[in-house]
Structure 1
Amino acid sequence: MNKQQLAAKIWESANQMRSKIEPNEYKDYILGLIFYKYLSETELQFLKKEDFTDADINALKEEDADTVDYIKKNIGYFISYDNLFSTWINKGKDFDIANLRDALSAFNRLISPAHKKLFDGIFDTLQTGLSKLGDSAASQTKAISDLLHLIKVIPMDAKQDYDVLGFIYEYLIEKFAANAGKKAGEFYTPHEVSVLISEIIADHLKDRKIIEIYDSTSGSGSLLINIGASVAKHIDDKNNIKYYAQELKQNTYNLTRMNLVMRGILPNNIVTRNGDTLEDDWPYFDENDPVHSYNPLYVDAVVSNPPYSQKWEPSHKEADPRYARFGLAPKAKADYAFLLHDLFHIKPDGIMAIVLPHGVLFRGGEENTIRKKLIEANHIDAIIGLPAGIFFGTGIPTIIIILKQKRPNTDVLIIDASKGFVKDGKNNKLRASDIKKIADTVHNRVSLPKYSQKVERATIRENEYNLNIPRYVDSSENPENWDIYASMFGGIPVNEIEELQNYWEAFPGLRETIFENNNEVNTKLKANDVTTTITEHKAVVDFNNQFNQAFHDFNNYLKEELLSNCETVKISREKIVLSNAIFKRLEKLPLIDKYEAYQLLSDKWDVIKVDLEIIQTEGFEATKVVEPNMVMKKKNGKDVEEQQGWKGRIMPFELVQETYLSDELKSIQAKENRLIEITTEYEEQLDKLAEDDKEADAINEAQDGFVNAEVLKEAKRIKAENKKNTNFDEDSFEAIILKVNDLIAEEKTLKSQVKTETIALHNKTKATIENLSEEQINELLELKWITPLVNSINSLPKTIIDQLANKVQTLASKYEITYADVAHEINEAEKTLATLLDDLEGNDFDLQGLNEFKNFLHGKE
């Protein structure tokens, strides 16, 4: 299975194993054990590279000082044979919780002095939490043993562009965060927010050869890792990126270190600290040599997602160089304390990004003073308003602030990105197109209607340094207006037609073809069929032709990019290459939103990327691999994994059947369609039955279906009693039973045939995939990767034209019924009601009441 499927399977199983343990705690067990497996296998890979035999590995003991020192010197730690993850698995039922406790204790003793900072205490959270897994050693052993066997399938040899381990680790962290409620904010920044910040930071750093990045509230380290991955796309050697991280909570700090180490980052490029960022600032120094190892830490980029509006202690910090220039954040809200800390640590040409609550933009008091000084010192580069509900555990509106030490411009770019998201369960989620649009807007510093605005410092001063986003960017929908003239007399207001000016500019002459003027403020619809008129208009035809010309070679371009180079294409950069190709083709085309096109690419890329990763990792032959299709089933109240047929590693069975086995597929589909028809015919025959006949044994108790066994008996009886005459009236009970009897026989035969043919087709599909020629593989990959993307891109012009037709039709319908029409209908209804009232009878008081009501209807007082 691919890494997405494997990650989902591990999460599902782990979540079931968790039982009553809180997600925030359980993550420390499974993530800690995954890390231990990584360290074990890293050591084994090193030993095999160093020509250690199996016998040598089996003999690894802590008492062998020379071997221990050699291994520690090279990988930073030593694990004896008895304590290796693979040894535990081989023990089977002989594994005991004591094995894990002993191994974790031994690990702490056997860390290289040079790697002490990196590994010291990294398993403390796991070690101290084992007692929560059960009341007895036996129950704890079972819980850990289950986890060991769950994660043993995770491959640990991270390869370029196919980091399965890193993907699964990130996947599990995100899933635990989604289930951890408010505690999620302690250790996780949503992946999409990380990617957005990463793209902005990476663009700023893309021309540098050596890069240092720092996260002052690192959590699980995911934000730092994503930034490293984005920066690595623009740098020749990813080992030229150095990572600094600081985290307050011990268990979360351990996650940071594990996550960084498992991404294959060189140990010398990882510098981490467990401490309070606001109280225990860098400079960082080695306790053994505090003078000569002093490092005040100025880096190329700082990122952070600190706890929002946290209390802190500002006393005696007036002279702290981080805050001296700007002032101290209020005691009740440390937001600006974190911001100033981050700003202090970037180089003159550096950049920082921090996630904060929206209130920091407009709150008064000390925060306003700090905000004013930051603006006057020209540090605030951009403000990005994010959608609400985008962070786990909180629904408050959040923002990203981008700051720099030195800037050539003095304006502030303000972006309201709060409307761009998709609903994902309880949370909102940035789409790929939302991230791309925000990042491009920051990069190009452009003002876009209802989205972004470059605000001059003079304007901000006039607003008393209030940076509240709605003051500068109005992203609200235009209120619906009703034209008084058109409401009274009909027609379509000219000013509402002019709101579609972008369409009229793109399609010259179309407006005049659709509308004609009643007067200078009002028009009427001239076209009888709006959609046809628009579609057949010369300007629209030219627009379609221009689009087709721009994309006429797109299919061949994709084949060259993806099929011809599938084993060598740089996966991490290819999405950018493809998006640039699409944007280039769209440059001179009006109306089409390039970010909508980007989203179409992104949706398809997710499938293409997985396949490319498999091909580049396992070879082109992976396209012909068929593997067991494993599904979870309930048996005796337990979830059991069973094989249910086969599935293609890359090639979908359905696609192969549609392409090469269409005759067999159509045969099955025809029989399945006939089975659906038979179900309908059962209902028709049931409806024909007289009510008395529905009391027969052949009809079920609810009288909504037939009882097959009884129908067969009844049909047999009818045939036996009417050997010479079976010519019954078609609506008679006998005819209906005989008809249903025939349907049952036909249905039974068809079901048997469908089952037999489906099994045969499934097996034939398996054999077909395993014997595909290179030409067939390329054809199938084109159908899977390229055809859906080309078709979705080619649908964009039609979407634009349909949108215009709908807008025009809506305008025409809006004023189709005038106020006079409505008033006339009301008047007629009142007259009719008054006439009906004349026919009513009652006592004197009733008649007086009715007469007064009629006066109201006639407008009398």
Structure 2
Amino acid sequence: MALKKSDLYSSLWRSCDELRGGMDASQYKDYILTLLFVKYVTDKAKADPHSLIDVPAGGSFDDMVALKGDKEIGDKLNKIIGKLAEANGLEKVIDLADFNDEEKLGRGKEMQDRLSRLVTIFADLDFRGSRAEGDDLLGDAYEYLMRHFATESGKSKGQFYTPAEVSRVLAKVVGIGPQTRQDQTVYDPACGSGSLLLKVADEAPRGITIYGQEKDNATWALAKMNMILHGNEDADIRKGDTITSPQFTTGSALRTFDFAVVNPPFSLKSWSNGLEQDYGRFEFGRPPEKNGDYAFLLHVLKSLKSAGKAAVIMPHGVLFRGNAEAAIRKQLLRRGYIKGIIGLPANLFYGTGIPACIVLLDKENAQARTGVFMIDASKGFMKDGNKNRLRSRDIHKIVDVFTKQTELERYSRLVPLVEIADPKNDYNLNIPRYIDSSEPEDLQDLHAHLHGGIPNRDLDALAGYWDAFPSLRSALFKDNRSGYSDLAIALEQVQQIILDSDEFKKFASDVRAIVDDWFSAHRPILQSINETTVPKDLIAHLGDDLLARFKDVPLLDEYDVYERLMTYWHDVMHDDVALVLGNGWLEAAKPRAARILGYDKNKKPKFEDAHIQFGTGAIAERYVMDLIPPALVVGRFLADQQAQFDEFTAAAEEATHQLEEFVEEHAVEDGLLWEALDDKGKVTQKSASSALTDISEAGDDEAAEAIAKVISFLKFESGAKKKAKEAQTQLERATIKQYVDLTLPEVKQLVLDDKWHTTIATRVAGEVTALTLTLVERIQQLGRRYTETVGELDAALGELEAKVARHLAEMGVGS
């Protein structure tokens, strides 16, 4: 069975759990990533005889597996890793973690058991089907671990990782794409673990030559491993401080590159410590001694070829700070080197919560540049734990708008250099000076509060809805006086009037038709998924076409629709495609036995959740259906048996309901069923039968009749539940058999039509529902706001005051 991304993440999370406690994330990441590396290169060497990594005898993951339970496992793991490192010149790269460290891993049996469990977790993974040139499952795993480690490492140690979503934006807006040549170069002077460079390389299908520098030794080692894991063994990653000791030089000059991307440490105070040679980097001014932001920016600029392009992540301060930085900024703008500024949301990065921006540098035709293209993307994100993350829709919108230089109200604008140079701005690039991204203020209308009616200007602001549903406004509102309207219906009827509107129904139907046409157009590609399919290209093709089809649909934001697809892709479809790629349609559709995830303290196995289970305990039959949920198989092939099961279940539930009602009515103190209660206050067959004997002997006919009735209820309920359980078992057995009998066309129909198409259509319909609710909420808000005039409220207040005065007078209080 092919390895699913979700299963891989689960295994990696468990491996982290094995080490958590003895050390923090910045330390145990070295152990996890080393094992991941050894396992991957071992599997790759088995699958690819031309692998650039040599796995020597005694230096493979298989040799690690043989050590499980060995008393000297820690020392022997170090030796295995040492052999692999020596065979590939990776000393001080993959051998940084000490697997024999008793302080971190425990002593004696504790270390032996911990490392044995750790090796077992990785032994269950199979990377032979992972294709770095296609869908990089391992890359996803690495990203998952990097995000996890960065989150746990906290402020001081999260600098080794640039969030994948931000990396994708930089890679796309810097100008790398299908046209990029393999001999073109990309450079990151503060490359961390290399994730940003790899995202850039991912945008160049023909390849690109990678260069990077990182001063932290452990992080440099991560970058070296990361390059190998992603099939970029020839990437040139060097060690050292980029500002004081740049490694890519030609004599006294810096080496230049076609592209550069970087996420340098923000506002580094010690940037100039040990600086002896500036390599001409500070020709436009020297950055402040206690702030290194412009030192990195100027280093990147100097490292670009004459037509080079760069994307640099910077704190917002570089856009507006004064003194030396203002002078540098002025020179860069006058020479046209700054092509664009993209403002990002706050709290995206590990190590800081401040908002950052992307500064786009471009030397090509710089002198002819007449403006700076600005984007305020600060409001487009989702919450993810204690951090914010860019969604797929946010990434696509930023890239689309910047690439096409599209001006959108409150989002993007090409700002002329003459405006930036104007004395009132004085080369200040602070984005809010040029783009007002705030939402329009919801103004209160004093005249409406005094005299009633909803201001027409508030209704005119909903013009998009009235354009899409021309007759709806007149159905909801009636004229009050000039410039004002009243609701023609009760507030609580607004939603139903909208939903019942023929125009709304047509709109919803049209949206469904667009999705249906879109899916039909791509169904031939989807049903042809095989081992040659590249998932990232597949979803890019699907997503771009869906965006295009919804671009001109009124009311709906095409990026919201796109996000519905992408969320489903990341949650479900990606794993489905991976299963089909790895196993083929028929094999991927078959039920499999549930896996053992671990063992409890009594050494009993803990299984993953099963879709269908027969029996209990360790010997139970547990089936998991990865590709096709049982409900889809039942719905298409076993509807009659499902109906029978539903009938028995409904009968059982009704019997339970009647029993509960009868007991609740009569099992009160001194009630007819009081004697039938057991020690726990429940009525059971045993307690009722015993009570019936006693009551009959006492001659209480009414109580005896009630207890006899409850006994019949209990028997009927038991019988109904038994029939329902038997029907469920029969249905589930028939379901398992149906899976085995599925043909290839049936599998594809279930996955493509019943699962993917139906789910995506339902999710897009959710956008229609959402926009409807937005309209309803706004109309109800306006209706409630102006329902009662100030005069009416004043009159009501007067009546209340008079009423209080009368009550006080009756009580003899007051004058």
Q: TM-score, normalised on structure 2?
A: 0.88
Q: 1:455 aligns with which of 394, 397, 415?
A: 415
Task: Indicate the SS of the match to 2:403.
Answer: helix
Structure 2 letter corresponding to 1:829: L
Q: Residue 643 of structure 2 aligns with which residue?
A: 666
Task: Indicate the SS of the match to 2:606.
Answer: strand
Task: Indicate the SS of the match to 2:383.
Answer: strand
How many Å apart are 1:369 and its aligned residue? Answer: 1.9
Q: Residue 59 of structure 2 aligns with which residue?
A: 83
Supply the distance in 2 between the matched residues of 1:532 and 1:134 (Cα, whole angstroms).
Answer: 64
How many Å apart are 1:507 and its aligned residue? Answer: 4.7
Task: Indicate the SS of the match to 1:179.
Answer: helix
Supply the distance in 1 between the matched residues of 2:535 and 2:783 (Cα, whole angstroms).
Answer: 50
Q: 2:690 aligns with which of 713, 719, 722?
A: 713
How many Å apart are 1:560 and its aligned residue? Answer: 2.2
Supply the distance in 2 between the matched residues of 1:677 and 1:693 (Cα, whole angstroms).
Answer: 23
Residues 533 and 440 of structure 1, relative CA distance in 2, 3 Å threshold: same
Counterpart contact for 1:651–1:769, Cα < 8 Å: no
Counterpart contact for 2:159–2:351, Cα < 8 Å: no
Q: 1:500 aligns with which of 454, 462, 465?
A: 462
Q: Residue 58 of structure 1 aligns with which residue?
A: none
Supply the distance in 1 between the matched residues of 2:726 and 2:44 (Cα, whole angstroms).
Answer: 49
Structure 1 letter corresponding to 2:153: A
Supply the distance in 2 between the matched residues of 1:370 and 1:792 (Cα, whole angstroms).
Answer: 49
Counterpart contact for 1:202–1:230, Cα < 8 Å: no
Instruction: Report the more deviating stretch, 419-428 or 87-96.
Output: 87-96
Task: Indicate the SS of the match to 1:591.
Answer: coil
1:585-664, aligned counterparts within 5 Å?
585-606=549-570, 607-630=572-595, 632=597, 635-636=600-601, 640-642=605-607, 645-664=622-641
How many Å apart are 1:17 and its aligned residue? Answer: 0.9
Task: Indicate the SS of the match to 1:39.
Answer: helix
Q: Residue 548 of structure 2 aligns with which residue?
A: 584
Q: 2:27 aligns with which of 19, 25, 28?
A: 25
Counterpart contact for 2:6–2:575, Cα < 8 Å: no
Structure 2 letter corresponding to 1:312: S
How many Å apart are 1:642 and its aligned residue? Answer: 3.2
Structure 2 letter corresponding to 1:617: G
Task: Indicate the SS of the match to 1:477.
Answer: coil
1:256-655, aligned counterparts within 5 Å?
256-265=223-232, 267-268=233-234, 270-284=235-249, 296-314=254-272, 320-321=278-279, 323-406=281-364, 407=366, 409-462=369-422, 463-508=425-470, 511=473, 514-526=476-488, 530=494, 547=511, 550=514, 553-565=517-529, 569-606=533-570, 607-630=572-595, 632=597, 635-636=600-601, 640-642=605-607, 645-655=622-632
Residues 439 and 701 of structure 1, relative CA distance in 2, 3 Å threshold: farther
Structure 2 letter corresponding to 1:789: I
How many Å apart are 1:801 and its aligned residue? Answer: 4.7
Q: Residue 754 of structure 2 aligns with which residue?
A: 783
Residues 686 and 89 of structure 1, relative CA distance in 2, 3 Å threshold: same
Q: 2:149 aligns with which of 170, 176, 179?
A: 176
Deviations 1:256-294 (A, max 9, x none): 1111101122x33x1001111221213258xxxxx8xx9
How many Å apart are 1:483 and its aligned residue? Answer: 0.7
Supply the distance in 2 between the matched residues of 1:369 and 1:129 (Cα, whole angstroms).
Answer: 55
Q: 1:39 aligns with which of 38, 41, 53?
A: 41
Supply the distance in 2 between the matched residues of 1:632 and 1:747 (Cα, whole angstroms).
Answer: 37
Task: Indicate the SS of the match to 1:349.
Answer: strand
Supply the distance in 2 between the matched residues of 1:156 and 1:552 (Cα, whole angstroms).
Answer: 36
Task: Indicate the SS of the match to 2:114.
Answer: helix
Counterpart contact for 1:422–1:428, Cα < 8 Å: yes
Counterpart contact for 1:562–1:569, Cα < 8 Å: no
Q: Residue 96 of structure 1 aligns with which residue?
A: 73
Q: Residue 708 of structure 2 aligns with which residue?
A: 738
Give the number of aligned pairs. Answer: 789
Supply the distance in 2 between the matched residues of 1:428 and 1:471 (Cα, whole angstroms).
Answer: 25
Supply the distance in 2 between the matched residues of 1:779 and 1:718 (Cα, whole angstroms).
Answer: 63
Identity of aligned residues (%): 28
Supply the distance in 2 between the matched residues of 1:246 and 1:296 (Cα, whole angstroms).
Answer: 13
Q: Residue 193 of structure 1 aligns with which residue?
A: 166
Supply the distance in 2 between the matched residues of 1:308 and 1:694 (Cα, whole angstroms).
Answer: 78
Supply the distance in 2 between the matched residues of 1:3 and 1:223 (Cα, whole angstroms).
Answer: 24
Structure 1 letter corresponding to 2:341: I
Cα RMSD between the aligned structures? 3.2
Supply the distance in 2 between the matched residues of 1:299 and 1:615 (Cα, whole angstroms).
Answer: 41
Structure 2 letter corresponding to 1:161: G
Matched, 1:253 2:206: no
Supply the distance in 1 between the matched residues of 2:528 and 2:654 (Cα, whole angstroms).
Answer: 47
Task: Indicate the SS of the match to 2:594.
Answer: strand
Matched, 1:821 2:792: yes
Residues 840 and 139 of structure 1, relative CA distance in 2, 3 Å threshold: same
How many Å apart are 1:45 and its aligned residue? Answer: 5.0
Q: Residue 691 of structure 1 aligns with which residue?
A: 669
Residues 753 and 517 of structure 1, relative CA distance in 2, 3 Å threshold: closer
Instruction: Report the more deviating stretch, 398-407 or 134-143.
Output: 134-143
Instruction: Report the more deviating stretch, 329-338 or 660-669.
Output: 660-669
How many Å apart are 1:716 and its aligned residue? Answer: 4.8
How many Å apart are 1:822 and its aligned residue? Answer: 0.8
How many Å apart are 1:746 and its aligned residue? Answer: 3.3
How many Å apart are 1:567 and its aligned residue? Answer: 5.7
Counterpart contact for 1:700–1:707, Cα < 8 Å: yes
Supply the distance in 2 between the matched residues of 1:45 and 1:564 (Cα, whole angstroms).
Answer: 24
Residues 545 and 309 of structure 1, relative CA distance in 2, 3 Å threshold: same
Structure 1: runs of 5 or more not aligned: 51-73, 286-290, 842-846, 852-861
Supply the distance in 2 between the matched residues of 1:191 and 1:105 (Cα, whole angstroms).
Answer: 31
Counterpart contact for 2:372–2:414, Cα < 8 Å: yes
Structure 1 letter corresponding to 2:12: W
Instruction: Report the more deviating stretch, 321-330 or 811-820.
Output: 321-330
Deviations 1:30-74 (A, max 9, x none): 11122123334444556xx48xxxxxxxxxxxxxxxxxxxxxxx8
Structure 2: runs of 5 or more not aligned: 611-621
How many Å apart are 1:346 and its aligned residue? Answer: 2.5
Supply the distance in 2 between the matched residues of 1:169 and 1:446 (Cα, whole angstroms).
Answer: 35
Counterpart contact for 1:422–1:430, Cα < 8 Å: yes
Supply the distance in 2 between the matched residues of 1:210 and 1:763 (Cα, whole angstroms).
Answer: 59
1:180-259, aligned counterparts within 5 Å?
180-201=153-174, 206-208=179-181, 210-232=183-205, 237=206, 240-259=207-226
Counterpart contact for 2:69–2:113, Cα < 8 Å: no
Supply the distance in 2 between the matched residues of 1:625 and 1:373 (Cα, whole angstroms).
Answer: 65
Task: Indicate the SS of the match to 2:462.
Answer: helix
Task: Indicate the SS of the match to 1:125.
Answer: coil
Supply the distance in 2 between the matched residues of 1:804 and 1:616 (Cα, whole angstroms).
Answer: 44
Q: 1:811 aligns with which of 779, 782, 794?
A: 782
Task: Indicate the SS of the match to 1:126.
Answer: coil
Counterpart contact for 2:586–2:743, Cα < 8 Å: no
Instruction: Report the more deviating stretch, 16-25 or 794-803.
Output: 794-803
Counterpart contact for 1:203–1:443, Cα < 8 Å: no
Residues 742 and 765 of structure 1, relative CA distance in 2, 3 Å threshold: same
